Amino acid sequence: MQHDDADVVYRQFSDPDMCAFFSEPPCDYAEALEIIEHYRNPDGEDHLRYGMFDKETNAFVGTCGYHFWDPARKQVEIGYDIWKDYWKQGYMTEAMPVLIDICFKRLGVDCIYILTDPRNAASVAAVAKFGFTHAAPCRDTDDGTICLKLLRA
């Protein structure tokens, strides 16, 4: 993501509908810029976020990526967000295999996990298509999220 993406990142992470299942509260514009800066230079870091765009219109659809990469434990957490106008149109079905491939092949992990709000049935169903199953939490949280994981094996 680039600084030019600030308007859509702000839209994405400040909208109440979008934030209903996020672990963070809605952001303001300055925080949107901080989000971009956090992900702009990931070299040597434990995180990377990609912007997702519609192939036909080049419209910003959402973001996906990884964070909490732990090379010693060979695990990583992934996350994604799709702008509400694009919900249930197959964007994550297309992006998820790429993200899984990045995690297993480039990061060399044996476990990919997702923490999600248990009320977000669409998200749980979407990742279940790729073999993610319910698991004990892979890291400590106190926000009521559930853990779903996918093992390399």
C-alpha closest to that of 103 among 91, 114, 88, 89: 114
Tell me what the mean pLDDT of segment 75-85 comes to: 92
Tell me what the mean pLDDT of segment 83-93 comes to: 90
Considering the chain, what percentage of its residues have pLDDT values greater than 90?
Answer: 44
- Residue whose entry in the numeric block shows the structure tokens 């990526």: 65
Tell me what the mean pLDDT of segment 50-66 comes to: 91
Distance CA 36, CA 1 (A): 6
Distance CA 140, CA 77 (A): 12
Between residues 143 and 127, which one has the greater pLDDT?
127
pLDDT tens-digit series, residues 104-142: 999 999 999 999 888 888 888 989 999 999 998 777 777
Domains of the chain, earliest start first? 46-151 (3.40.630.30)
Least confident of 18-27, 68-77, 120-129: 18-27
